[in-house]
Structure 1
Amino acid sequence: CASRNPRWARDYHTVQMPKEVRKARYFSRREKLSAPELLSAIISRRDYYTDAWWMVAVATTPDAPYSLEQLQDGLRHPVFPLYLGRKSHPLALPLAPLLLEGNASDTLRNAYQQYQDHFRKLKVSLPKLQDECWWEGEHDGLVASKILRRRDVPLNRQQWLFGERTVNQGPWLSKEEPCTSQE
């Protein structure tokens, strides 16, 4: 789940590339950079969310290499600095990993309330989350309104082959209907 109206930060990155030479074939980055007289700089642009926040849920599997407690501890005390894409974009808020049990919908609702309370105490107002979330697999309480196919599972790095995975998209916070009975 992600915040509704994120703001973007733009970052520029310069890269040295050789000018186009017809019939020239480069088999490595070293070959591309071997003729300094042909080098020129190009600028690439990257955009990052600056005021967005995500609520991420992880479920345990029988063959998981790490327990949920180990993941929680690793997020609380990371070995390396955490950042978004590049070191110039560190996290703006501290991580607040929780261990919760229950079906997916109730657990997300419970976590959202706990995060709101936690950050309210720190005097940080969190933007409202989107009504939609994305997940893999089947989870009680979550019903997909869209099914997306992503071809991003690495199968063979040498041949640059990727397999497909399925991502579900749907509402995470079901709105409760008002009671209309006389009882």
Structure 2
Amino acid sequence: MNRYLIFQLQGAMASWGEIAVGEVRHTRALPGRSALLGLLAAALGIRRDDDAALNMLNQHYQFIVCAGKSAVWARDYHTVQVPREARKVRYFTRKDELRDKLVLETTLSRRDYYTDGYWLVAVAATPGAPYTLEALQAALLAPVFPLCLGRKSHPLGLPLWPQLCEGEAASVLREALVRYGAALGELCPALKQLAQFHPQIWWEGDHDGLKADELQTWRDQPQSRRRWDFDTRTVKQGRLTQEAPCTSQK
């Protein structure tokens, strides 16, 4: 029997990253593996320079993503002042960077994001995982570090509401869509529209009841947080299949 930790992601703004070339910072319509692992790491209190802990987290968890239809793409134009590249100078704070105005240069960039997006995420742990799903649930309920939707300027708009569930993946997801939609409607009738989902879902690995119609290649597999390196991974896309009762929920 498969076990899953399911939680929701919602906010006024969200940016999920994409291959960045030049001045444009694109975003995917879905949270990628790096973003979701980063969310879990922040909740657990794992620091960005703890390579060993981050690598263990990367090796032992799989994600399934369902996307709502409410997200709207947008783009901002930014001007940022940064110091000229100097190999012998290391800046520890933004104040240090701005202290010498003679070496500042202005960088132009365009940054994409989604407004009013809503996503449901299911997490499955593989054998040898460093944290149980119960531990991840507890961390999401009381995170060590502040959580955001891709960027620090994109805070959560709703609680994560992490729930544990056992059963066939297709049934677990189908029931989660109904359950979270009902909870949104009880919280505020206007939020009910967030629970209108795309028929497709996206996942990695093998899960009972999920059959892929398409294989995609995403470059969001973190390799080194220090060097900001990412590798490719295979993401499956498909629809929910036959129904089966979900056996237990917490």
What residue is the counterpart of 1:67 in the other structure? 132
Q: Which amino acid aligns with 1:80?
A: F
Relative distance call for 1:93 and 1:12 in structure 2 (3 A) is farther
| Conservation of the 8 A alpha-carbon contact between 2:70 and 2:193 | no
| Counterparts of 1:8 and 1:151, CA distance in 2 | 21
**Structure with the higher helix share, 1 or 2:** 2
TM-score by structure 2 length?
Answer: 0.57
Q: Which amino acid aligns with 2:133?
A: L
1:1-31 Cα distance to aligned partner (Å, 9 max, x none): 1112412454444333579xxxxxx674949
CA apart distance, 1:94: 1.4
| Counterparts of 1:72 and 1:100, CA distance in 2 | 11
What residue is the counterpart of 1:23 in the other structure? none
Q: Which amino acid aligns with 1:78?
A: P
| Counterparts of 1:154 and 1:87, CA distance in 2 | 19
| Conservation of the 8 A alpha-carbon contact between 2:75 and 2:113 | yes
What residue is the counterpart of 1:91 in the other structure? 156
| Counterparts of 1:161 and 1:76, CA distance in 2 | 30
3-state SS of paired residue (1:143): strand
3-state SS of paired residue (2:178): helix
| Counterparts of 2:234 and 2:77, CA distance in 1 | 33
| Counterparts of 2:236 and 2:70, CA distance in 1 | 22
| Counterparts of 1:158 and 1:121, CA distance in 2 | 43
Q: Please give the residue correspondences for 1:1-183 in structure 2 after superposition, counting only pairs within 5 Å.
A: 1-16=66-81, 28=87, 30=89, 37=102, 39-123=104-188, 124-127=191-194, 128-155=196-223, 162-172=230-240, 174=241
Aligned residue pairs total 168
| Counterparts of 1:57 and 1:76, CA distance in 2 | 16
**Structure with the higher strand share, 1 or 2:** 2
RMSD: 3.0
Relative distance call for 1:60 and 1:157 in structure 2 (3 A) is closer
| Counterparts of 1:83 and 1:38, CA distance in 2 | 32
Relative distance call for 1:141 and 1:95 in structure 2 (3 A) is same
Relative distance call for 1:171 and 1:78 in structure 2 (3 A) is same
CA apart distance, 1:134: 0.9
| Counterparts of 1:3 and 1:150, CA distance in 2 | 20
Unaligned runs of 5+ in 1: 20-25, 177-183
CA apart distance, 1:112: 0.8
CA apart distance, 1:133: 1.1
Greater relative contact order (CA < 8 Å, ≥ 6 in sequence): 2
CA apart distance, 1:129: 0.9
Q: Which amino acid aligns with 2:216?
A: L
| Counterparts of 1:89 and 1:156, CA distance in 2 | 24
3-state SS of paired residue (2:157): coil
Unaligned runs of 5+ in 2: 1-65, 91-96, 244-250
Relative distance call for 1:99 and 1:18 in structure 2 (3 A) is closer
| Counterparts of 1:161 and 1:81, CA distance in 2 | 24
Relative distance call for 1:37 and 1:131 in structure 2 (3 A) is same
3-state SS of paired residue (2:210): coil
| Counterparts of 1:3 and 1:95, CA distance in 2 | 15
CA apart distance, 1:162: 4.6
